[in-house]
Amino acid sequence: MSTEHTHVRRLLAAVALTLAVLVVESSAPTSGASPRPAPVEATASGTELSVPEAGAVRPGTTTFRVRNVDSAERWIGLARLRPGFAPETFVDRMRRAVHGPAEEGAVARWNEAAEMLGGVSVAAHEARTFTQFLTPGTYYLVDYQSLREADPLGRVRAITVRGAGWHVEVPEADHVVVLYSTPGGTRFHAPARIAPTAKLLVINASGLLEEAMLRRVRPGTTDRDVTDYFLGFGPDPFPPASPPGQGLAPTAPGRSGHTDVELTPGRYVLISWINDYTNTHRIVDVT
C-alpha cells in the first residue's frame, strides 16, 4: 500500500474518532438541559491560579477562559486522573516529564497517571480559551510553570463537575488539525494556511500524548530547516523575541479539543514538544 493511501486511512480513522466523540456527546443526558453556560474563568499569575467556580461546573461542553495577569507567559492545562492515581503521583510524573532531565518513559508514565485534556499557553496580560467535553467527576487545572516550585501542588486546582442540565454542542472550528501515527513517529495533518484569528479543532489520533502549538519562524523557513536546526545542522529558525506559542496544550491520545488563536500574519511551525519535536512539526502560513 502506498504512503498516500496509508495517510488517507489514518485520516479517515481520525474522522471516525471525532464522529465517535460526537455520538457520545449527543447521547449525554438531556433531562433538564440548560442553555450555553458562561465560560469557566481562571486567572493565572506568578503566585496564584484561581478558579472561583471550581465547585459548580455543569457537565457537557465546557469552555475555559484563562486570563494571565503575570508579566510572563503561563501554560495552563486540564487533567482527569486515571483510576488508582492520586494528585501527588500525577503531579510528580508530570513535573518529571515536563521539567526534569530527559528520561525514557517519562511521558508514558505521565499519560498513565492522568488523561490530559488540553489547555492553553497565554501571553502576559492576555486571555485564551479552550473547550472540552466533561462528564461528572473531578478534574484538575495545572499551571505548568509552577511544577518547578518546592510545592508543585500549590497551584493545582480541583474542578468538580456535577449536576443535571447538561449543555451539549459541537463548537465551531475554522480549521482542523490532526496528529496521527506513522512508522517514523507522530506527524501533523493541517491546512497550509490558517487565518490570523481562528478557532482550531485539534484531534489527537496518534496513540501518544501530544500537543499542537504554533510558534513563529523566520520567513522562508521549511520543515527541513526546523529539523536540521534541532539536529544541530542549521541556523535557528526562531526569530529573537518572538511571541509565545499558541495552540492546544498536551492532549491524551484519542481525545480532541478546541482552542482559539490570535496570531500576527507570517510563517509559523505547528509543533508538538512532547515526544519528538525534531520531526513532529509542520510549516503553516498565517494569512
More reliable by pLDDT, 25 or 160: 160
Burial of 125 (0-12, 13-18, 19+ CB in 10 A): exposed
Domains 3-26+171-286 and 40-161 in one fold: yes
CATH number of the domain located at residue range(s) 40-161 in this protein: 2.60.40.420
* Percent of the chain's residues with pLDDT above 70: 88
* pLDDT value for 33: 52
* pLDDT value for 4: 41
Mean pLDDT of the 156-183 span: 93
The answer for 13, left when phi > 0, alpha when psi is -120 to 50, beta otherwise, is: alpha
Residue 129 has pLDDT above 50, yes or no: yes
Could you tell me if 260 and 198 are in contact, meaning their C-beta atoms sit under 8 angstroms apart? Answer: yes
pLDDT band at 283 (very low <50, low <70, confident <90, very high): very high
Task: Specify the range with the lowest mean pLDDT, choosing from 41-45, 144-148, 262-266.
Answer: 144-148
CA distances from 71 to 63, 68, 144, 276 (A): 24, 8, 16, 30
pTM: 0.88
CATH number of the domain located at residue range(s) 3-26+171-286 in this protein: 2.60.40.420
* Percent of the chain's residues with pLDDT above 90: 75
Mean pLDDT of the 73-98 span: 96
CA angle 21, 24, 27 (to 5 degrees): 150
Q: List phi, psi (to 5°) of 220.
A: 85, -5
More reliable by pLDDT, 9 or 72: 72
Mean pLDDT of the 157-180 span: 93
10: number of Cβ within 10 Å: 18
Q: List phi, psi (to 5°) of 20.
A: -65, -40
Query: Where do the domains of the chain lie?
Result: 3-26+171-286, 40-161
**Mean pLDDT of the residues in the chain:** 89
